[in-house]
Amino acid sequence: MYKLIIKGGAKLSGAVSVGGAKNASLPILAATLLAEGQYILRNVPKLHDIGTMSKLLSQLDVQAECDKNSRFCGTDGIDICLSSVNGDLLLTNNGGARCEALYEVVKTMRASILALGPLLAKRSKARVSLPGGCAIGERPVDLHISALEAMGADIKVSHGYIDAECSRLKGADITFKTITVTGTENIMMAAVLADGVTVLQNAAQEPEIVDLANFLRRMGAKITGDGTHCIQIEGVDKLRPADYSVMPDRIEAGTFLCAVAGAGGGAVITGAPVAEMKALISSLKSAGVKITDKGGGDLFVESDGVLNATDVTTMPYPGFPTDMQAQFMAVMTKAVGTSLINETIFENRFMHVAELKRMGADITVKDSSAVVRGVKELSGAQVMASDLRASAGLVIAALMASNTSEVQRIYHLDRGYEDFEKKLALLGADIKRVKAS
């Protein structure tokens, strides 16, 4: 286990580049179950979750290739297997028929549920461990299951597993009662090989859904309406493998914007999906952060570290992303005035609050709202990460603090940020990774 030692107070400057999107890569990797043959996936980030998805796929007869020279090699001990093609990921679906996603893998990554739709669509059978709850909430998968049932699947949930079978799935009209990102992705992947047309109402509009749809279209799928609340999918008999470059990660880009906003300084974030970051950019601008779109994915962000308290409410896209809530809250801890942060997506996504308070933040949580009263100083402390984005929030707070902090349990961070501390160090942060005793 590792921890980060961070000496706060340094202004950030220079340039940092954004990697491929984790939340687009995961469903795209799962979609390789849909057609036999060889895929090249470019701009896939080197993350623990990508290693986990590769491991899951290898148990389902999709192999990622191993090459010692690959930048992916050795991803946190997982035998992942990644390719020689300029660090791109090379995957081969060898037409096998295995269809079981075991608890050992699913328990470490909820997104493993994304295997369910493609397995049923292509292999007519799936046995996928039921993901448990996680630190940020209960996170059920009932909407995935009921939509697949509406498409004709016979599903039983028992002994912690989802057992599903079908002949060929049938197109259906499905209205999600809550907007669900992976639910929409799972059913899109199920519908591309179904018999007839599927219409998804109240679908998620996240940019990662559009990226998955672009990939599926490259494979021969017929999808329209992605990026809106109504997606239509006309099933086809067969798909083909594809070569695809994953979109950049808007959450990683947003995290760097928050780091500069909180710590102060001026830096360029390169390769950011600017059009997909409007809600965050607008909230940071309201707080007094200067952000200039330089074109071509370059964002210049400038802050003197003295910001105005700004309220945010997390919402499905295009609203303020729940995955940016912890990082934005960290920035608000030193703002002038009181900000109200409402979390509407997950019921328990304030685990970072207790840790921020250990650093001197003044925050009160009531139900799904946090009242953040800006303080003059944060003081460095030992803190513990509870989930992926909470970890990033704690790192930002540590950069804003007056002395040294230790952030423990950073394996959460490695699930979603590639070379996070190296990129921050490039911007001038005093941060290092050391073995935790």
Please give the residue ranges that form the binding site for ligand UD1 (CB under 6 A). 23, 26, 110-111, 137, 139-144, 178, 180-183, 322-323, 345-346
CA angle 37, 32, 346 (to 5 degrees): 175
- Which of 131/374 has CB closer to ligand UD1? 131
- Which of 181/301 has CB closer to ligand UD1? 181
Q: Cα 80 to chain center, whole Å?
A: 20
- Which of 247/268 has CB closer to ligand UD1? 247
What are the CA-CA distances from residue 107 to residues 57, 76, 128, 196, 318 (Å)?
A: 15, 17, 11, 34, 30
- Which of 79/347 has CB closer to ligand UD1? 347
Nearest distance, CB of residue 221 and ligand UD1, angstroms = 19
Q: Terminus-to-terminus CA distance in the chain, angstroms?
A: 8
Nearest distance, CB of residue 299 and ligand UD1, angstroms = 21
What are 127's strand-pairing partners? Answer: 100, 163
- Closest Cα to residue 398, out of 12, 6, 11? 6
For residues 279 and 314, give the distance between their C-alpha atoms in angstroms, rounded to a whole number.
10
- For the question of residue 134 being annotated catalytic, the response is yes
- Closest Cα to residue 18, out of 369, 267, 269? 269
Q: What are phi and psi of 415, to 5 degrees?
A: -65, -25
Considering the candidates 134, 166, 230, 258, report the single residue annotated as catalytic. 134
- Which of 202/270 has CB closer to ligand UD1? 202
CB atoms under 10 Å from CB of 186, counted, come to: 27
Nearest distance, CB of residue 52 and ligand UD1, angstroms = 11
- Closest Cα to residue 92, out of 116, 127, 123, 66? 66
Catalytic residues: 134
